[in-house]
């Protein structure tokens, strides 16, 4: 028996599972259980760590404030290594614990694709803040998916708008060459339909340059860039791929000011090893400056020596991403309580309704301390995204500096794409769109 227990313990450690339970884990009926899928190891760890820390610190802050109308959050972290199979493994292992998972945040587009097939049967909502399936913004087909606050088509559209403005108008893009250097994975391929649509509309030439994961070796890719001499390069990378791309751009002499990264390619870990040489590089960011919530986390969580990572990390780009994602999951619970009972633990199905009926205006965000960190968001049965805007910041050699105001994605392009691809998914899976009655449930 002792040997059996030892083997089980070793297996759990090897799987990378570590628990961070707030409150009494033996009483799940009194806690809202939220698994945390993270990657603190492997080539994507420098980016995954601040996301996980921001997520967990926000849950700790909510608990320190008394919970969600008195309901404390129990959370458990599971190491995925940014691997789809391991992510699904974590999901399967944790989904039924402590009375059942309230919500899942995969933090990987590949994992999101896989879990999307499982969530309807398990009745667990999936929150994907700025990643995942872009067409899952259509809640009449994707009942359990919530790509809140912007998908990859929003990201691509905002970048093209920003470049168009720099050129003096979108019509000036006609005849230009734009190269997409992308992570050869579901994540990297997501923006292609939007960029192809914009290329047809604006008349620019789109060159697709896939990079094999993890993306350390890119010499052949940047040889193609040097030969083609595109007017702009869009970088759709993650982890070590981003700094490798910037280093290759320096080596080949490609101007960094003509490079535009998605929000997963424009954080502190992406440029710190390149430093001054990355000056001028532009990237999307979907969160704003610190504000009260950042001050509260520093004082209430880190001030009491309960912070998950270094206090210097609080307020950085990816930390804020994790924090906002956690906040939206919490607000989905809070909204559900308004309908199903304040001070009660909500089921995944009830939280799904809450996420589908978010109504966070500026006043509500200010009350939460999130008023300067995120834009207002309002969801519905048809719209599981709720907000479609981002801004650009530019690396000045030492820090990121906001270089544009918020830019709204063009719904006249985004919505038809969402419907087209949602219809295709529904046909493949033999799904019917939700009825008005189901939208009220």
How confident is the model over 109-120, as pLDDT tens digits?
Answer: 999 999 999 999
pLDDT of residue 267: 96
pLDDT of residue 290: 79
Run means of pLDDT, 10 residues per run, the chain, 441 residues: 36 40 46 98 94 98 97 98 97 95 96 97 97 97 97 98 97 98 96 98 98 95 97 97 97 97 97 96 90 96 97 96 97 98 97 98 96 96 96 96 96 97 98 92 78
pLDDT of residue 2: 37
pLDDT of residue 382: 96
Cα-only R_g, the chain: 21
pLDDT of residue 233: 98
Q: Where in the chain is the domain with CATH 3.40.50.2300?
A: 2-150+292-378, 153-285+390-412
Domain 2-150+292-378 has CATH 3.40.50.2300: yes
Question: What is 153-285+390-412's CATH topology?
Answer: Rossmann fold (3.40.50)
pLDDT of residue 441: 78
pLDDT of residue 288: 82
């Amino acid at each position: 028996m002792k040997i059996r227990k030892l083997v089980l313990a070793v297996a759990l450690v090897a799987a990378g599972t570590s628990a961070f339970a707030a409150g009494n884990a033996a009483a799940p009926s009194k806690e809202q259980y939220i698994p945390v899928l993270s990657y603190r190891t492997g080539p994507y760890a420098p980016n995954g760590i601040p996301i996980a820390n921001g997520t967990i610190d926000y849950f700790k802050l909510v608990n320190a404030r008394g919970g969600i109308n008195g309901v404390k959050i129990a959370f458990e972290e599971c190491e995925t290594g940014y691997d789809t199979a391991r992510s699904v493994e974590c999901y399967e292992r944790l989904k039924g614990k402590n009375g059942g998972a309230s919500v899942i945040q995969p933090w990987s587009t590949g994992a999101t694709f896989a879990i999307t097939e499982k969530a309807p049967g398990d009745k667990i909502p999936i929150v994907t803040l700025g990643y995942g399936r872009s067409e899952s913004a259509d809640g009449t087909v994707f009942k359990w998916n919530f790509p809140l606050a912007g998908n990859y088509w929003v990201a691509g559209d905002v970048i093209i708008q920003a470049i168009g403005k720099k050129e003096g108008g979108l019509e000036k893009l006609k005849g230009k060459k734009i190269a997409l250097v992308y992570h050869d994975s579901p994540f990297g391929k997501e923006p292609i339909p939007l960029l192809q649509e914009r290329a047809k509309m604006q008349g620019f030439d789109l060159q697709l340059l896939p990079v094999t994961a993890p993306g350390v070796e890119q010499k052949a890719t940047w040889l193609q860039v040097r030969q083609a001499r595109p007017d702009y390069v869009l970088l759709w990378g993650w982890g070590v791929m981003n700094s490798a791309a910037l280093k290759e751009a320096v080596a080949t002499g490609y101007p960094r000011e003509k490079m535009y990264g998605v929000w997963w390619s424009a954080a502190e870990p992406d440029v710190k090893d390149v430093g001054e040489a990355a000056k001028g590089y532009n990237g999307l960011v979907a969160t704003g400056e610190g504000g009260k919530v950042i001050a509260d986390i520093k004082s209430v969580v880190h001030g009491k020596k309960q912070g998950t990572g270094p206090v210097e990390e609080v307020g950085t780009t990816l930390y804020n991403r994790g924090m906002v994602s956690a906040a939206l999951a919490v607000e989905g619970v809070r909204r559900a309580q308004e309908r199903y009972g304040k001070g009660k633990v909500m089921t995944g199905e009830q939280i799904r309704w809450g996420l589908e009926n978010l109504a966070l205006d500026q006043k509500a965000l200010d009350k939460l301390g999130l008023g300067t960190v995120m834009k207002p968001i309002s969801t519905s049965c048809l719209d599981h995204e709720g907000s479609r805007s981002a801004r650009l910041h530019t690396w000045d050699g030492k820090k990121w500096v906001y270089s544009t105001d918020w830019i709204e994605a063009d719904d006249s392009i985004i919505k038809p794409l969402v419907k087209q691809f949602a219809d295709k998914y529904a046909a493949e899976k033999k799904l019917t769109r939700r009825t008005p009655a189901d939208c009220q449930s």
